[in-house]
Amino acid sequence: MQNIKFRRMVDTKYVFQISGIKNVQTKGKLLHGIHQLGGKYIGGSSYVEGTTHLIVSHPVASEKFLAACAGGIWIVKPEYVRDSERNGKWLPEESYELDLASQTPGATNPIRAWRERVTCGSILGAFQDWSVVLLVDRVEQSVMFKRILTSGKASIYSSTPPSNRHVTHVLTNCMYKRLMSHNAPCYSLDHISQHLFGSLWSEVGFSKSFDTPGSSSQDCSLMDTCTELEADDLLFANLENQLRDHLSKLEHLKRKLVSTEFLNMTTAGPQTQTVMADFSNVSSLIECGLLTEALEELQGALYPGQLPPVQVFHSLMQHALHGEVKPYFYCKFRAVLHDILRKNPPWGSPVVVKYFLCSLQCPQCKGGPRGLLELSVRFCMSSGPTCHSLPGPASPEQVRFHMELQGFLLKLFQFELQASNMGKPAGSRASVLVSTFWSTWDRTTLYTRAVQQLAELLIQASLWALPYTEDWQPRIVGTLHDILAVVVEYWCQEHCQLNRHLVEKGLADLAQCMAILCQDLPPEALQDFIPSIPSARLRLVTADAIFGHTCSQNGIVMGTEPLSLMKIVSSYLPALGRMGGRSPARPRAPQHPADEPATASCARDRGSPAAVAPPGGTRAPEETAAPEVPGGPGLGKENVPRGLNRVNAAGETLLHRACKKDQVETLLRILPLPGTDVNVKDHAGWTPLHEACNHGSSACVRALLEHCPALHLETQVGGVSPLHDALLNGHVDIAKMLLRHAGSSLLQQRDSHGRTALDLVSSPELREELRTCAQEGDSAWDAVGSEVRDLPFLETCSCLLSCLILSYTLVRDLPFYEDPGPQLARTLAAHSAGRVTAGWGDPRLVRHAEDLETLAGVGKYLRRVPPAVRNCQGRHTHILMRQLDQLESDGLELLRNAPM
């Protein structure tokens, strides 16, 4: 059902028109159902050849109804589309076909009769063999009746036909009835419906459509009017289809390009039979200490379908790990590894998968490929616990061997990812990668113990490699980065088609772990670590988690709404401005990974912001906790207000209800609680701030402004912002508070009637007072970021936000200048995203439309960045400002490229 619902190709067997249904909501639901099942809708008032189904709720004297009956196509009731959508496929039409004879016992349904005759081929149309001279005084009526007659396969002439054609009918309106020319019977226009419906034509009301002599509106009742709202709904539905097709194509391309460097060497196909060949000569050479010769003998005996015994392979690896070989042995061992992979790829062969799992592990501890990887990395790091000790220190040849061993594991995992992308029969059924990082019972979870240990190893290696004293240290860290990226991409691609919500949750869990682990990284390390994450998806969620935790540690309450471009520019940018003026934290010495294993960090509460220090070190004692909320108690159960998680029928939370009743004590108890979203919306879109401004709850407005730096003051519902709401209800004191807090940017907002807040005020004195309050707000806002006090901290936050924006635009495919991007951007500028996407069923498409709407208006948010931050010459802050300017240019370019 899921595949049918999101089918991309339009099914030409289901081409619909609608007649007689004027209700916009009803019509919108029908259009949505048609598009969801892959059908095509043709709008307008005229009948179009090629239509296969006409939807009507009752008989209607319209052009489309008459033409559909004459052409023998399906005329069905709206329930046909609704029931088909509910079942996920097109249902048989017979039980939904309109029946004109249902109220007349013994009568034959003429709609079914004409359809069956056309379908079986006995006739081409209801007017076959008609040669018609059409004499109608009005041009638009003449054209309309031509379409009706043409659909029934009549031959039509406006004057004398060719000599070889005999006129069978002269069809005319009332003013021509006196003419009896062409030696042919002359009929009025109602003869068309009389021929189609026989004795039922008067009972269903068709006789009233043709018998009004001399009326200028005569026959116009046959035309379906296309209202402006209907045209908009059709445009929105077409944009939805185009956007779905565009994103589907991009997703397919990304699956093919996610590993462009993989499979860059020729590999044999999967073997149906694989045997452990006789390598007794190799064993004898090993016993004699001729290790290099043993490798050469083994390499010469490798063929597709033949694998060396695991014991032989482990004997050679044991000597390599202990450094008891010559440098040439390492090169030969690496060549043998790649030959085994080339001639016996694991995808599609459970036997080969099991062989790699058994052979690619420490010969002593048998910890599997992941254990071998950790042993190899820790041996190079010369720190941290390993499964067993190895002789050291490591020689350059040993380090090079271990790097090649780590690279081989990466290459193996990359091959399996590419095999999965190409649809090879590996998948999660036979995969070394899956068996290494997931057990049988946790394959629907990204954040497994093995993946967590890989993340911990990566963070510890990043700390160890600082500063880079050897050129090979970054290569080890890079390999671990790539392995984690392959693991993430493999798991996401295995599950994204089935459950996108599951993928988002898995990424969020891993991002929380990464954020906790990254607290041990100093600023310069974090500024290098986050941009180095190869997976754009993992980089996005990790940067978001770290930035969110950093905001929490600095007393900035972020909403719990999903990440979006609107959240980035409306919440994260103001937060960056606030943190730009933060006092420097007390520095600390970097901690060696061996002193405190990262597993201890992960044992902390991952959901608690207090468990995460801001990037760059521990906060100074006076900055350890978020600013105290007056009256805000601890987080014990006895301090949680009753009804905290209760939402009423209007979608109002306890925050909404407290703000409506000016219950500031309840509000102050809610704000410190984890997960509090101060910008939460009810079913109508109103936020708690809206409710406080509407009901004159001054104390609640003051508390929200003082303790919620990420409060959205510019959210509009039907064009009504909190400032508009306050002035419309006469709460001038609240309006002044808002302006002193946010400045003159609020005065630039317009409601749905184009009015600014000052336009709602009739008193010139009050207008001037409001302008003065706005100027005070501008001065206060400039003072917040008038000086950058902790440049390393600001640089780290700017780096996180820069990576967040870059990753978001990559993952969400923003912007795109080909169709339907520009047209959708202009439509969103003319309407709202809520109006355009009201009938859309795919949350991905709705989110994309909202992002485009934000992109087109991103400039107003950039003005909220303090001058000190905007003019900061730090490298990452400068890059971030350039990115934001480019976002604004992209939004303007989209609107310029849009068709008029």
Q: What are phi and psi of 671, to 5 degrees?
A: -55, -40
Domain closes at, from 394, 410, 445? 445
Closest CA to 115 of 164, 73, 86, 158: 73
Q: Report d(CA 257, CA 261) in Å as an integer.
A: 9
Instruction: Assess whether 188 and 312 both reside in one domain.
Output: no
Tokens linked to 280: 């007794």
Q: Report d(CA 609, CA 335) in Å as an integer.
A: 49
Instruction: Assess whether 17 and 142 both reside in one domain.
Output: no
**Residue 1 in this model has a pLDDT that exceeds 70:** no
Strand partners, 155: 131
The predicted structure's pLDDT at residue 215: 38
C-beta of residue 16 within 8 angstroms of C-beta of residue 51: yes
Rounded mean pLDDT, 878-897: 89
- Reduced to 3 states (helix: H, G, I; strand: E, B; else coil), residue 261 is coil
Instruction: Assess whether 114 and 148 both reside in one domain.
Output: no
642 domain-assigned: yes
Instruction: Assess whether 29 and 171 both reside in one domain.
Output: no
562 domain-assigned: no
Q: Report d(CA 460, CA 592) in Å as an integer.
A: 8
Q: Report d(CA 303, CA 277) in Å as an integer.
A: 9
C-beta of residue 866 within 8 angstroms of C-beta of residue 781: yes
Residue 98: CATH number of its domain: 3.40.50.10190
> How many CA atoms does the CB half-sphere of 743 hold within 13 Å?
15
Query: How do residues 187-242 score in pLDDT, each as one tens digit?
Result: 888 888 888 888 776 655 555 454 444 433 344 456 555 455 556 667 788 888 88
Residue 168: CATH number of its domain: 3.40.50
396 domain-assigned: yes
Q: Report d(CA 183, CA 170) in Å as an integer.
A: 9
Query: How do residues 599-646 score in pLDDT, each as one tens digit?
Result: 333 333 333 333 334 444 433 333 333 334 444 444 455 567 777 778
The predicted structure's pLDDT at residue 289: 82
Rounded mean pLDDT, 415-437: 74
The predicted structure's pLDDT at residue 168: 85
Instruction: Assess whether 92 and 137 both reside in one domain.
Output: no
Q: Report d(CA 284, CA 345) in Å as an integer.
A: 28
Instruction: Assess whether 54 and 181 both reside in one domain.
Output: no
Domain closes at, from 744, 761, 778? 761
The predicted structure's pLDDT at residue 312: 87
623 domain-assigned: no
pTM of the model: 0.65
Q: Report d(CA 185, CA 279) in Å as an integer.
A: 100
Instruction: Assess whether 55 and 84 both reside in one domain.
Output: yes
Rounded mean pLDDT, 91-97: 92
The predicted structure's pLDDT at residue 626: 37
C-beta of residue 124 within 8 angstroms of C-beta of residue 100: no
Residue 8: how many other CB atoms lie within 10 Å: 12
Q: What percent of the chain has pLDDT over 90?
A: 27
Q: Alpha-carbon dihedral of residues 165, 168, 170, 171, nearest 10 degrees?
A: -120
C-beta of residue 340 within 8 angstroms of C-beta of residue 307: yes
**Residue 529 in this model has a pLDDT that exceeds 90:** yes
Closest CA to 352 of 300, 408, 276: 276
- Identity at 421, one-letter amino acid code: N
Q: Given the structure tokens 């080909």, which residue do they identify?
A: 818
The widest CA-to-CA distance across the chain, in whole angstroms, is 120
522 domain-assigned: no
Residue-range definition of the domain harbouring residue 728: 637-761
Q: What percent of the chain has pLDDT over 70?
A: 80
* Residue 238 CB contacts under 8 Å (≥ 6 apart), including other chains: none
Instruction: Assess whether 659 and 744 both reside in one domain.
Output: yes
Residue 641: CATH number of its domain: 1.25.40.20
- Identity at 43, one-letter amino acid code: G
C-beta of residue 127 within 8 angstroms of C-beta of residue 149: yes
Q: What's the domain count of the chain?
A: 4
Query: How do residues 655-686 score in pLDDT, each as one tens digit?
Result: 999 999 999 999 988 888 877 888 888 888 89
514 domain-assigned: no
Domain closes at, from 445, 471, 494? 445
C-beta of residue 766 within 8 angstroms of C-beta of residue 758: no
Query: How do residues 456-499 score in pLDDT, each as one tens digit?
Result: 999 999 988 887 778 889 999 999 999 999 999 999 988 887 78
Instruction: Assess whether 165 and 33 both reside in one domain.
Output: no
Average pLDDT, the chain: 79
The predicted structure's pLDDT at residue 276: 57
Residue 335: how many other CB atoms lie within 10 Å: 13
Q: What is the CA radius of gyration of the chain?
A: 36
Instruction: Assess whether 698 and 661 both reside in one domain.
Output: yes
Query: How do residues 282-326 score in pLDDT, each as one tens digit?
Result: 888 888 888 888 888 888 888 888 888 888 888 888 888 888 788
Q: Report d(CA 781, CA 418) in Å as an integer.
A: 51
Instruction: Assess whether 75 and 157 both reside in one domain.
Output: no
Instruction: Assess whether 172 and 105 both reside in one domain.
Output: no
Tokens linked to 721: 């912002």
Query: How do residues 538-580 score in pLDDT, each as one tens digit?
Result: 999 999 999 988 887 776 767 677 899 988 988 888 888 878 7
What Å distances lie between residue 857 and 739, 811, 814, 885, CA to CA?
21, 20, 14, 12
Kindly indicate the confidence band of residue 873, based on its pLDDT and cuts at 50, 70 and 90. Answer: confident
Query: How do residues 788-808 score in pLDDT, each as one tens digit?
Result: 778 888 999 999 999 999 999
The predicted structure's pLDDT at residue 25: 72
Query: How do residues 8-26 score in pLDDT, each as one tens digit?
Result: 344 568 999 998 887 777 8
The predicted structure's pLDDT at residue 612: 34
The predicted structure's pLDDT at residue 388: 66
Give 771 or 719, the one with higher predicted confidence. 771
112 domain-assigned: yes
Query: How do residues 685-712 score in pLDDT, each as one tens digit?
Result: 899 999 999 999 999 999 998 888 778 8
458 domain-assigned: no
Q: Is the peptide bond before 820 cis (omega within 30 degrees of 0)?
A: yes
